[in-house]
Amino acid sequence: MLSPVVGVLFDGFAYGMLLFLLSVGQSVTLGLMNFINLAHCAFAMLGGYVTVTLVNGHGWPFFAALPCAFIVSAVTSIGFERALYRRLYRASDLDQVLLTIGITFTAVAIAAYIFTTAQQPLQLPSYLRQSVEVLGLRLAIYRLILIAISLIITCVLVAALEHTRFGAQIRAAVDNERMARGLGIDVDRTFAITFALGSGLAGLGGGLAIEIVGLDPSFAFTYLVYVLIVVSVGGLGSIRGTFAAAAVLGISDIAGKYYVPQLGAFLIYLVMISLLMWRPTGLFGRR
C-alpha cells in the first residue's frame, strides 16, 4: 500500500507536466532570439478555446480536438510573427514587452466578446473523469494521460533537438547567434519555425489545461507568471531545464500545500527565489 503522499506527489507531477507544455515553447524562443513574447499564454488560451468549441460545440472527440488546438495556435502565431513580431527582432526588450502585452490585452478582449467571461467547462467522456486504483492509491486517468502525453512530447523534442539537422541549427543559434549566422544558418527562419512550434505546444497545453485549471479570458495573464517562473528557473533555451523546473515547481507547490498549508502560495515563490539565487542562469541554463 502506498501512502497517500505518493498520490499527492503524482498530482504535483501532473501539474508540473502541464506547466512544462505551456512553458517549453517560451523557453526555447527566449533562448533562441531573446525575443520576449508575453503573448505566449494568449496562444495557450486560443488552444483552449479551440478545444472547447470543437468538443462542446461540434461534438468532436477530445483527442481529435487537441491536435487542432496545436495547429490553430501554430498557424495563428505564424501570422502574428510575419505581421508584427518580425519588425521587432532588433528592437529593445521593452518594446517587445509592450507589443506583446498589447496583443494579450486585445486577445483577452476578443475572447471575452466571443465566449463571454464565464468559465468554460469541457464535456469529456466519462472514462476520462474516473480514476484507477494502483497499489491502494487512486490515480486520476486524466492526469495519467496528461503525464503520458507530456513525456512523449519531451522525448520527441529532445530527440529532434539532438538528432536532427534542424535541431542542431536551433542549438547552434541558442549557443551563439552571431556565429550561427556567420555559418550561414538562417536564424530568422529557424526562429519563425521554432516560434510556431512553441506556440502550437502552448495551444496544446491550453487545451489540456481546461480540465485541471479551467478556462476563461483571464487565463492569458494568470499563467504568464507561472510560465515565466518555470522558464527562468529552468534556464533559457533548454528543454531539460524546463522539464526539471516544471516538475520541481509543480511538486513543491502541491506537496507544500499538503505538508504546510499555511505557506500555501508562498512556497512556489520561495522555491523560485532560492533556486534563482543559487543558479541565476537557471538549472540548465547556458548563459
Asked if 136 interacts with other proteins (CB under 8 A), we say no
Asked if 174 interacts with other proteins (CB under 8 A), we say no
Q: Of the listed pieces 45-53, 64-72, 103-111, 191-199, which binds other proteins according to CB under 8 A?
A: 103-111
- Closest distance between other proteins and the C-beta of residue 36, in Å? 10
Q: Of the listed pieces 69-77, 178-186, 196-204, 221-229, which binds other proteins according to CB under 8 A?
A: 221-229
Among 64, 75, 118, 183, binds other proteins (CB under 8 A): 118
- Closest distance between other proteins and the C-beta of residue 155, in Å? 25
H/E segment holding residue 139: strand 137-140
- Measured at the CA of 218, the angle between CA 80 and CA 73, to 5 degrees, comes to 30
Asked if 1 interacts with other proteins (CB under 8 A), we say no
Q: Which three cell numbers stand for residue 238?
A: 533548454
Asked if 208 interacts with other proteins (CB under 8 A), we say no
Q: Point out which residues pair with 134 in neighbouring strands.
A: 137
Asked if 110 interacts with other proteins (CB under 8 A), we say yes
Binding residues for other proteins, total number by CB under 8 A: 78
Among 17, 66, 68, 236, binds other proteins (CB under 8 A): 236
Reported for 278-281, long-range contacts at CB under 8 A and 24+ positions apart, including other chains, are 279/235, 281/235, 281/236
Residue pair 22/243 in contact by the 8 Å Cβ criterion: no
Q: What is the footprint of other proteins within residues 268-287 (CB under 8 A)?
A: 269-270, 272-273, 276-277, 280-282, 287
Asked if 71 interacts with other proteins (CB under 8 A), we say no
Which ranges of the chain would DSSP assign to H, the alpha helix? Answer: 4-33, 40-52, 58, 62-83, 93-115, 141-163, 165-175, 177-182, 187-213, 219-234, 239-259, 266-278
Whichever of 69 and 210 has its CB closer to other proteins, that residue is 210
Q: Of the listed pieces 176-184, 193-201, 217-225, 241-249, which binds other proteins according to CB under 8 A?
A: 217-225
In which region does residue 164 sit, left (phi positive, over 0), alpha (psi from -120 to 50) or beta (all else)? beta
- End-to-end CA, the chain: 45
What length is written for the chain?
287
Q: For 109, what's the count of Cα atoms within 13 Å in the CB-facing half-sphere?
A: 6
- Closest distance between other proteins and the C-beta of residue 204, in Å? 18
Among 200, 205, 217, 241, binds other proteins (CB under 8 A): 217
Q: What is the footprint of other proteins within residues 7-66 (CB under 8 A)?
A: 7-8, 11-12, 15
Asked if 116 interacts with other proteins (CB under 8 A), we say yes
Residue 258 — φ and ψ, nearest 5°? Answer: -80, -45
